[in-house]
Structure 1
Amino acid sequence: MNKKLRKLLIIIAATVPLLTFALMLWLASFVMTGKRQTLDEAMQWQSEHYDTSFYENLEKTNYTVESFDGYELHVQFLKNPTPTDKYILLSHGYTDNRMGSLKYVPMYLELGYNCIIYDLRGHGENEPTFTTYGIREGEDIYELVKDTRSRYSDISQLGLHGESLGAASTVTSMKYHPEVDFAVADCGFSDIDNVLRGAYKKYHVPVFLVDLADIGARIRYGYALKSMRPIDSLDDNEVPILFIHGAEDSFILPKNSEDMAARTKGRSEVHFITGAGHAISILTDAESYKTYVKDFLGSL
């Protein structure tokens, strides 16, 4: 073997591991720190897809809640114009912010609830940080429930509602046994691994990159993607959960909700909205959506 070839092989042998390591870290960052919307951007999207004029007339209170690790969450209380002692805490999806929860507010106002919306960690007005797909976010919800219970002394009923990442975080919070009466989980995932692998296949990206991202996440952030499994929080859960999913959701498949509904120890229902893609079920068929929620709440 000549000297030039030997030198080239040495360079390749040294470079490939470094490039692989850099790729793992980049993949982890891509998966866990996607570009977030500003409040204005999120509100613009909402206003383009439904009438948000109701929001301007609501009495609002802004505050922050310190979570389990000292992280501050920005929260907004939306008071029902009709006095009520029922409350609902709404969690938005990935890269969105509390404005993304507004699409559900008219329904809950009509059903007689005060609404609490907030920015998930790393989103909205909160300090930038990475997403753990339910691990830290579920514990945040537990802390928000405790704060809500102490902040509002008149509560007769308190529920949770989550969309996508918010639904997964809501489900994950069940491992802490939050003092809530019910939960609604819209298009949540049972585990993030199946979502990533499905997305990579759909866009013809090598699926083994998910495994590299998992290693990178462990190294860079201290959390394994494979441990981000909301479904594992349901084995001893007794909070009634209503699962709703768009029947045409090709991003987070409806089977995720079916699997979680079957896994929970307590009561569950699962309903699919015909024609709805990801996170737009209430915009696709508002009447069916409201009926499912109203009937579920009425049966508690």
Structure 2
Amino acid sequence: MKWWKIIGLGGVFMLVLAYVGTSFYFAKSIVKPTPMTLAEEEAWEKEHGLWNDFDQYEVEEYTVKGVDDYPLHVTLVKAADPNSKKYVIITHGFRSNRNGAAKYVEVYRSLGYHCIIYDVRGHGKNAPATVTLGNVESKDLLYLIEDSYQRYGSDSYLGLQGESMGSSISLNALQYQPKVQFVVADCGFTNLYDLIAAGYQANHVSFLMPGVSWMTKHIYGVDMKETSAIDAVANNQSIPITFIHGADDRFILPENSQQLAEKNPTPDTVKLVDGAAHAASREILGVAGYQALVQQNPNVK
């Protein structure tokens, strides 16, 4: 074999190796993230003025078993009125943890809600796990919903709030017709595959998408197309949804919430928050401003 053929084959081999390695790296970053610790998230919330009076609230910690008996760490933040039957489950975003949900607690607590915040699988104090950003986690959420009724009474009035990945989880749960009264979805996305593909396209690396998709599916068992909030909301039968999205969000574009609302057959509203980047609507609006948007959902009472 001539030397130039050897060099050519060697070059091709190195390119293939680089492609495989890069695809594996990005696939792992999606489904095996390195999450923030509870302390890191608390510090971030305090730095951004989002912790409020969280340290003064009465809380109760416990665990709930999710899919395949996977234990989820949960904190109940009690309402000022101990006799309140209103509850909201708040689901945090990617790489965050239940402390990342603290920013929303006062929004609901001042309306008389007990707030149930928890670590999504693979996050917070939970054991390391492969994440799907909505497909499996929405089934975990069903276990948490059922536990809440068993723990606090079948007459409880229960709603859902999610941020980013947490919105995906909350919306994906709708395909199972859960017993909840409302959903508030902040900066959610339509479909995980489409979200990643759009991000790669924006950064001019679309050629990585086939490799990353293959890796997540065949190495980690995660088909990104199965995390599809837009398909789930199409099967929503009765639950009103409030979609909130930062108008300046460049990570998950506001069009995601608009497209989700178009597919949702139940009463909904889309609220774009001027000046808010990704997951920053609560910070921009403050408690009262954000609460005003939440209260536009007809079932938030």
- Aligned residue in 2 for 1:69: 68
What is the aligned-residue identity percentage? Answer: 35
CA distance in 2, matches of 1:299, 1:51: 22
Q: Which residue is 2:147 aligned to?
A: 147
Please state if 1:122 is matched with 2:116. no
Q: Secondary structure at the match of 1:35?
A: coil
Matched, 1:181 2:181: yes
Structure 2 stretches lacking a partner, 5+ long: none
Q: Aligned-pair RMSD on alpha carbons?
A: 2.0
How many correspondences in the alignment? 298
User: Are residues 228 and 56 of structure 1, via their aligned partners in 2, closer, same or farther at CA, if it must alter by over 3 Å?
Assistant: same
**Residue 23 of structure 1, CA deviation:** 3.3
Deviation at 1:19, TM superposition (A): 4.4
Quote the offset at 1:262 in angstroms.
1.2
Identify the residue that residue 266 of structure 2 maps to in structure 1.
Answer: 266
The separation in 2 between residues aligned to 1:51 and 1:67, in whole angstroms, is: 29
Quote the residue 2:91 is aligned against.
91
Matched letter for residue 197 of structure 1: A
**What's the TM-score, normalizing by structure 2?**
0.92
Please tell me the residue identity of whatever aligns with 2:100.
G
* 1:298–1:196 distance in 2 versus 1, CA, 3 Å: closer
Q: Which stretch of the first structure deviates more once superposed, 28-37 or 213-222?
A: 28-37
1:108 maps to 2:129: no
Map of 1:235 onto structure 2: 234
Secondary structure of the structure 1 residue equivalent to 2:68: coil
Query: 1:39: which partner in 2?
Result: 38
Paired with 1:298 and 1:196, the residues of 2 have a C-alpha distance of 33
Secondary structure of the structure 1 residue equivalent to 2:162: strand
Match of 1:255 in 2: 255
Q: Which residue of 2 aligns with 1:27?
A: 26
Classify the secondary structure of the residue corresponding to 2:53: helix
SS in 2 for 1:295: coil
Partner letter of residue 289 of structure 2?
S
What whole-Å deviation, never above 9, does each CA across 1:64-98 have from its counterpart, x for those lacking one? 11112121110001111223110000000001100
Whether the 8 Å CA contact 2:189–2:195 is kept in 1: the answer is yes
Q: Provide Cα deviations, 1:191-215, integer angstroms capped at 9, x if missing partner.
A: 123332333344x341121221111
Q: Is the 8 A contact 2:240 2:298 kept in 1?
A: no
The normalised TM-score by structure 1 is: 0.92
5+ residue gaps in structure 1?
none
1:230-285 Cα deviation digits (max 9, x unpaired): 11111221211111111111111111111111111222111111111110101101
1:197-236 matches, within 5 Å, as 197-202=197-202, 204-236=203-235
| Structure-2 change in CA distance of 1:28 and 1:236 (3 Å) | same
| 3-state SS in 1 of match to 2:131 | coil
Q: Which amino acid aligns with 2:179?
A: E
SS of aligned partner of 2:297: helix
The offset of 1:8, in angstroms, is 4.0
**Which residue identity lines up with residue 240 of structure 1 in the other structure?**
P
Indicate if the aligned counterparts of 1:198 and 1:251 stay in contact, CA closer than 8 A: no
Contact 1:190 1:260 in 2 (8 A): yes
- Residues 68 and 30 of structure 1, relative CA distance in 2, 3 Å threshold: closer
